[in-house]
């Protein structure tokens, strides 16, 4: 089983220390050239007008200071991705509080999708950065198209797309577009509220729900190898779960939305 996580927009600053080592990241043989090109592209972008850089990165004027930081990625201090990403999903998953067995399982079975790095393992050391799948650098295609061929090669080389494999997908649509397995069973996690017999997709809780699902799977007594066994683990933890084709739906009490 493989768990795919999204990155988080919220990030923590690494403590002073060595910079990123592109040869030390996951799938270095397959993804190094793409990563190097983006890092160089962001360095060039940082020398352009702030207005043009902000537009290319699709960020707000209040985030303009990150343009200069993106221009120094090669020398900025780095830390494990599990520590740099600090959004709601990562807070709920809690990499830092996993048991040694669960931490080992996460190192082997978790990959983090990234617009800048392609795919990372939780322990891969990266700097703070600002770069999403919405960004468009000069003379490069959209990020999903940019990464698609290299990720297909990397994931195949890593043995992550075999016929009897299960992939639990926590990524959003933009990151999912960069890689989808051809053979393994991909099961995406969705979250709904239900009130008065009516069901509604809610975006404000889905990241927290996905973080909780990932933690429950990583801390289970035995690693699940089917979507059905994942559902059993979640139900044992008190979640209401429905398995619908390629979706694992988590149903919450609709009163949560009104609180």
Per residue in 90-127, pLDDT (tens digit) is 999 999 999 999 999 999 999 999 999 999 999 999 99
Spatial separation of the C-alpha atoms in residues 230 and 54, rounded to whole Å: 41
Spatial separation of the C-alpha atoms in residues 93 and 8, rounded to whole Å: 12
The residue behind tokens 């066994």 is 229
Measured CA distances, 178 to 68, 148, 248 (Å): 27, 5, 21
Spatial separation of the C-alpha atoms in residues 97 and 186, rounded to whole Å: 27
> What is the structure's pLDDT at 204?
67
Q: Which segments in the chain show pLDDT lower than 50?
A: 255-259
Which residues are within 8 A (CB) of 218 and not within 5 positions of it... i.e. 6 or more apart?
3, 93, 98, 102, 105, 106, 109, 110
> What is the structure's pLDDT at 254?
54
> What is the structure's pLDDT at 259?
34
Tokens of 42: 């962001």
> Which SS3 state, helix, strand or coil, does residue 120 take?
strand
| Structural domain span for residue 193 | 2-130+138-156+165-258
Give the count of domains, the chain.
Answer: 1
Half-sphere exposure of 188 (CA within 13 A, CB side): 14
> Which SS3 state, helix, strand or coil, does residue 111 take?
strand
Bridge partner list, 113: 119
The reported pTM is: 0.94
> What is the structure's pLDDT at 198?
80
> What is the structure's pLDDT at 85?
98
């Amino acid at each position: 089983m493989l768990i795919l996580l999204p990155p988080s927009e919220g990030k923590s600053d690494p403590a002073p220390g060595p910079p990123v080592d592109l040869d030390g990241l996951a799938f270095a043989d397959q993804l190094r050239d793409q990563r190097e090109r983006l890092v160089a592209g962001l360095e060039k972008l940082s020398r352009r007008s702030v207005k043009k850089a902000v537009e290319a990165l699709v960020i707000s004027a209040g985030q303009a200071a990150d343009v200069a930081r993106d221009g120094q990625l090669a020398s900025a201090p780095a830390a494990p991705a599990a520590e740099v990403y600090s959004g709601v999903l990562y807070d709920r998953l809690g990499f830092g509080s996993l048991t040694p067995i669960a931490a080992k399982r996460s190192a082997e079975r978790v990959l983090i999708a990234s617009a800048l790095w392609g795919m990372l393992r939780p322990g891969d050391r990266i700097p703070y950065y600002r770069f999403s799948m919405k960004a468009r650098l000069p003379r490069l295609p959209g990020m999903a198209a940019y990464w698609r061929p290299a990720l297909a090669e990397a994931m195949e080389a890593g043995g992550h797309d075999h016929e009897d494999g299960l992939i639990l997908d926590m990524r959003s649509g933009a990151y999912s577009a960069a890689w989808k397995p051809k053979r393994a069973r991909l099961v995406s996690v969705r979250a709904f509220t239900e009130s008065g017999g009516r069901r509604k997709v809610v975006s404000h809780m889905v990241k927290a729900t996905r973080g909780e699902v990932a933690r429950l799977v990583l801390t289970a007594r035995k690693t699940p190898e089917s979507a059905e066994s994942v559902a059993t683990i979640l139900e044992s933890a008190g979640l209401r779960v429905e398995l619908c084709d390629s979706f694992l739906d988590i149903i919450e009490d609709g009163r949560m939305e009104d609180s």
